[in-house]
Amino acid sequence: DGGITQSPKYLFRKEGQNVTLSCEQNLNHDAMYWYRQDPGQGLRLIYYSQIVNDFQKGDIAEGYSVSREKKESFPLTVTSAQKNPTAFYLCASSIDGGSDTQYFGPGTRLTVL
């Protein structure tokens, strides 16, 4: 089955700890994205990558970091510098950066205690 996987589904961390969220796709897509979704808020773009070894900040990149060492993988690290990290995190991919058709993963709900 082709698609996007995110793990884990639920994640709990203590305040002050860094945590890394996994995103893998086997769709052979060049572009990948990380969004954050909060109750009553739309999707907000954290980081995106149009090609391996390259990525750009989105609207709310502060307190987050990413890497794109492989085409299939785009992990997101939520650092201790992120002031309100508790949220639902969604990873997406598209054929390329100019495509509007983004395919989303199932999401990871991060709760910081």
Partner 1 sequence: QKEVEQDPGPLSVPEGAIVSLNCTYSNSAFQYFMWYRQYSRKGPELLMYTYSSGNKEDGRFTAQVDKSSKYISLFIRDSQPSDSATYLCAMRASGGGADGLTFGKGTHLIIQP
DSSP 65: E
Query: How would you classify residue 67: left for phi > 0, otherwise alpha for psi between -120 and 50, otherwise beta?
Result: beta
Rule CB under 8 A: choose which of 20, 26, 28, 41 binds partner 1: 41
Structure-block tokens of residue 105? 């993963």
- The answer to whether residue 102 forms part of the interface with partner 1 (CB under 8 A) is yes
Binding to partner 1 in span 49-68, by CB under 8 A: 50, 56, 58-59
Which of 102, 86, 8 is closest to 41 using CA atoms? 86
From 40, 83, 84, 113, residue interacting with partner 1 (rule: CB under 8 A): 40
If the CB atoms of residues 78 and 89 are measured against partner 1, the closer one turns out to be 89
Q: Does 2 bind partner 1 (CB under 8 A)?
A: no
